[in-house]
Amino acid sequence: MDQAACVPGLQLRSWGLVEFATTYQAMQAFTASRVADTPDEVWLCEHPPVFTQGLAGAPSHVLAAGEIPVIPTNRGGQVTFHGPGQVVAYALIDLKRAGYFIKEHVYRLEEAVLKTLLHFGVTGHRVAGAPGIYVRPDAPGDHRALAQRPQQGMARVEPDFAGLAKIAALGVKVSRHCTYHGVALNVRMDLEPFSRINPCGYAGLQTTDLSRMGVDTTWHTAAEVLSQKLATYLTP
């Protein structure tokens, strides 16, 4: 770990560029060794190109991996891509101590991404039935609510991605009431590998990044903003 900062109740760590497998093993070890007073942590990093497959992942959603490795994981969800220029934030939170459940944890992760996008002048959206955050590529600052947004009491629906592109993917694992894995925000990256998969299990789902939304920023700046939003929203 190359940098660390502490906010009340939460340790923020920046790893820089690190292999996914190394980070995955470290998350598992950290979670297995936690005790009641172990501080929660958020790890920020980026990975060399890699496809990661969730527990529900169908091999058919990997269309043509080519030279990019495919690594099975124990997080929820389907296949996604990680690569340089993407801020990956791993949230290691004791839910029992925090006092909220997994659905709220996911909501808080998404809220941190929404507020990060807003910082850069981009409006993010939730889509019913599809975890993660989406944007309107043709109107990044459009605040109009989506018809397909999650709404209280609505029945489970098939996600509708019309006019949208995914800018942040999310996957979580809970062990002994403690979370790991987290969220990945696309900042300025090569998006071509997303065409080699059905992102998050959806054929034809568009992906994008902040640079294509007209935002001129660096990985480090985006990571700093996201880390501060996560510190705000993951704190009980």
Q: Which residues pair with 13 in a beta bridge?
A: 4, 43
Of 172, 161, 116, the C-alpha closest to 134 is 161
pLDDT of 1 higher than 50:
no
pLDDT band of residue 5 (cuts 50, 70, 90) is low
Tokens 């209280």, located at residue:
152
Q: Which of 129-138, 149-158, 199-208 is predicted least confidently?
A: 149-158
Q: How confident is the model at residue 147 (pLDDT cuts 50, 70, 90)?
A: confident
Please state the φ and ψ torsions of residue 195, each to the nearest 5 degrees.
-75, -10
Q: Which tens digit of pLDDT belongs to each residue from 61-92?
A: 999 999 999 999 999 999 999 999 999 999 99
Lowest mean pLDDT among 7-16, 25-34, 152-161, 213-222: 152-161
pLDDT band at 138 (very low <50, low <70, confident <90, very high): very high
Confidence tier at 155 by pLDDT (50, 70, 90): low
Residue 154: pLDDT above 70? no
d(CA 6, CA 146): 37
Residue 201 has pLDDT above 60, yes or no: yes
At 2, the pLDDT band (50, 70, 90 cuts) reads very low
- Rounded-to-integer distance, Cα 67 and Cα 50, Å: 9
Q: Which of 6, 45, 178, 200 is catalytic?
A: 200
Whether 200 is catalytic is yes
**Of 101, 58, 77, 75, which Cα lies nearest the Cα of 20?**
75
Residue type, 46: E
Do the beta carbons of residue 59 and residue 171 sit within 8 Å? no
Q: Say whether 28 sits in a helix, a strand or coil.
A: helix
For residue 3, what pLDDT is reported? 55
pTM assigned to the model:
0.94
Phi, then psi, of 206 in degrees rounded to 5: -75, 145
**pLDDT over threshold 90, residue 119:** yes
Q: In whole angstroms, how large is the CA radius of gyration of the chain?
A: 17
Report domain extents, the chain. 3-124+167-234
Q: How confident is the model at residue 156 (pLDDT cuts 50, 70, 90)?
A: confident
Instruction: Tell me the average pLDDT of the chain.
Output: 93
N-terminal to C-terminal alpha carbon distance within the chain: 25
Structure tokens at 130: 């599809």
Q: What is the mean pLDDT of residues 158-175?
A: 95
H-helix or E-strand spanning residue 18: none
Query: Does 112 have pLDDT greater than 90?
Result: yes
**For the chain, what percent of residues have pLDDT higher than 90?**
87
Q: What's the farthest any 2 CA atoms get from each other in the chain?
A: 48
pLDDT of residue 122: 98
Which amino acid is it at 89? Answer: A
CATH 3.30.930.10 describes domain 3-124+167-234? yes
